[in-house]
Structure 1
Amino acid sequence: MIEPRKGTGQPTIADVAELAGVSRAIASRALSSEPRPVSADKRERVLKAAQTLGYKPNLLARSLTTKTVNLVAVVVNHIHDLSDLDLFDLLISEIQSIGKQVIFVRVGSSQGIEEFLRNGIAYHVDAALVFSDFADAATVRKMFRNDSVLMLNGMRDAAAPAIIPDELTGITAAVADAAGKGVRTALLVTGRAASAVEQARVAHYRSELQRNEIALAGELRGDYSYQSGRRLAVSPDWKEVDAVFCTSDAMAMGVLDVHRDGVLQTRPKAFRLYGFDDVTLAEYEAYPISSIGYDKSIYIKEILRFLTHPKEFRSGGTLVRVPTYFVARDSS
């Protein structure tokens, strides 16, 4: 490792090793964020010595030695959806727990991706996690000049591994719940049509509604936001139906605030309302929306497996599916 120049007064790895009574190699292994062999006694001595001296590792030097920078890029459209906030807080915490840090790259639109490439911007990262549905795998590999790219938006290719929720399971349960309660007509409030994940989600709803003999009276397109749900709920295209299925909880919340008196009763009077994402806010009395979710701890565990054991994901574009579930609440 490259040590600071003498005279700076900063403790070095050699100082830590000397105080702990171990070799520099053992001190380095004990302080590494990676699982490296060292006895518990020596690790404890090294950690105590580092704390006593106020030693901070030289991350630049470590990156030159390990060929890693301990940075992970998270590529997103934006960060304002309720489901984004629920997920990313947990994800950042878990990535930091393995000694890496996150940089967010907000692309906003397909033009944002093109601008990124046009300006030749490149970050040196160990891996890229792609949530944005404006970014395909080949483009992200080019963006970061790195093949370690994990697709979380349904836009994978033969070389890109992917992790996606298995949404059919939760959708099947939600539609069956509605059918069991006598629902015979429904509206579908959807998100961005260009999204591969949304396309699959809408197709699942259509097939399950048909299979349960529920007539689809119409599809209204929003953008996953609360504002779009509220706007659609008062639009001339709104129809009287037995149930409304929204492909995001945020849109369902907008719908609920327009039709609150007709939905939040012992038995909904106007229609039954179903959301998607199972955001934390749906657990509280203000927005008790029946919803479809997935176990975020399992989802994040698979992402961490990609970051720590990437070779397990390099067999021809591995696809990992995380199961979804349905939660019935007052709105249905």
Structure 2
Amino acid sequence: MAASIVQVAELAGVSIATASRVISNANYKVNFKTREKVLAAAAQLNYTPNALARGMKTQHSNMLGIIVGDNSDPYYAEIVRGVEDVANENGYLTIVCNTDRQPAKELNYLKTLRDFRASGIIFAGGGLTEPGYPEKLAEKVEELTGEGTAVITLSQHTLNVPTVQPDNFEGARQMVRKLVELGHHKIAFVTGPSNLIVANVRLQGYMAGLVEAGLSLQPNLLWPGDFSMSGGQKAVQALNYLPPQQRPTAIFAANDETAFGVMVGLRRLGWQVPQNISVCGFGDLPVAQAIGPALTTVRIGLRELGQAGARKALSLLKNETVETVEISPVRVVERDSTATLAQTQSL
């Protein structure tokens, strides 16, 4: 059964009249926070304002939708902050849509945002690669852009739309180079989700770094992960099954969340970082320099990435010419979680 405006109001904790005013874009002053709560509730319930959609086909609301893969991941929180910085300055509301990296949920949110005539949609994460899905997504996005909706991506994606993206390949390559400079030749890599383009791009950068250093890829040092702390903890269990001479002296995690999990898992196994093994990540979340030991990582500049994406979306809405592809530079930030091989006492 389709959700009603009454259910939207109840979930948002507001009156039916207030919910209706927000949904209908009526000319009433509604508190900014209240408006955000109503829109978030409507998206969660997949509420479709059919009459509104029929009557205002060619108009757009001052709303920017942000598609994220996991709203519990601090990576996305920083990007969202950046988008909101620019959106708020320009009178736009933002609504965050958490897909859990599931194609069906992503399509459902696109439908909801289209029903609400969002002015722009920002894909904050990388593209999903399940068979047949890129084509299906491209078709839906083409409908949106044909109606004047600004669509951009903030990472490597299957969509052929304007993009601002960090240099994930180069960042991973640079990190391997740094570890090699520290003397490490046995470098394990904890991957990201296999259906996510950005995870595969970072893996490619890792492999390119090995080739550049004259090192061969060792399958027993390629450990599956999923961009989560729990995935990082699980990955290091591989150490239990490797003979001492095959164990890595450094672990490179495909994102910071995974790296945090790797360090927790190592402590539980009795390994000290970096005394017994070096650990590094990718992203440079704010907490990366606050944990102990502070994490060596690849800095993206996530809030700045969100700001750049929002500015590009607003430029498209003004019919301004924008660069189709913008690559934002990344750099390795060396902190306390890595040490030279000479300083490492492997277990």
TM-score when normalising by structure 1? 0.71
Partners of 1:298 and 1:322 within 8 A in 2: no
Equivalent residues in 2 for 1:51-200, closer than 5 Å: 56=29, 67-108=59-100, 109-115=102-108, 122-132=115-125, 133-134=127-128, 136-142=137-143, 146-158=148-160, 160-200=161-201
Give the Cα separation in 2 of the matches to 1:284 and 1:102.
29
Give the Cα separation in 2 of the matches to 1:279 and 1:205.
20
Corresponding letter in the other structure for 1:276 = F
Corresponding letter in the other structure for 1:80 = S
Give the Cα separation in 2 of the matches to 1:250 and 1:169.
20
Structure with bigger RCO (C-alpha 8 Å, 6+ apart): 2
Give the Cα separation in 2 of the matches to 1:73 and 1:284.
31
Distance change in 2, residues 1:181/1:78 (3 Å):
closer
Q: Percent identity?
A: 19
Distance change in 2, residues 1:107/1:157 (3 Å):
closer
Per-residue CA deviations over 1:113-164 (Å, capped at 9, x if unaligned) read 3555789972211111012434744433446855421122322444x11111
Partner of 1:244: helix, strand, or coil? Answer: strand
Give the Cα separation in 2 of the matches to 1:137 and 1:325.
32
Distance change in 2, residues 1:152/1:137 (3 Å):
farther
Alpha-carbon deviation of 1:91?
A: 2.5
Corresponding pairs, count: 267
Of residues 313, 326, 329, the one that matches 1:307 is 313
Give the Cα separation in 2 of the matches to 1:167 and 1:88.
19
Distance change in 2, residues 1:196/1:285 (3 Å):
closer
Partners of 2:176 and 2:210 within 8 A in 1: yes
Unaligned 5+ residue runs, structure 2? 1-27, 33-55, 129-133, 339-347
Partners of 1:187 and 1:216 within 8 A in 2: no
Distance change in 2, residues 1:164/1:116 (3 Å):
closer
Corresponding letter in the other structure for 2:261 = G
Of residues 275, 282, 287, the one that matches 2:281 is 275
Corresponding letter in the other structure for 1:197 = V
Alpha-carbon deviation of 1:293?
A: 1.5
Give the corresponding residue for 1:257.
264
Corresponding letter in the other structure for 2:150 = S
Per-residue CA deviations over 1:238-278 (Å, capped at 9, x if unaligned) read 661121111011111111112246343xxx33321110111
Per-residue CA deviations over 1:58-105 (Å, capped at 9, x if unaligned) read x9xxxx9x9542101111222011212232233323321211001122
Of residues 226, 229, 232, the one that matches 2:232 is 229
Give the Cα separation in 1 of the matches to 2:255 and 2:110.
31
Partners of 1:189 and 1:244 within 8 A in 2: yes
Give the Cα separation in 1 of the matches to 2:73 and 2:176.
24
Q: Pick which of 127-136 and 102-111 moved more.
A: 127-136
Question: Which protein has the larger Cα radius of gyration, Structure 1 or Structure 2?
Answer: 1
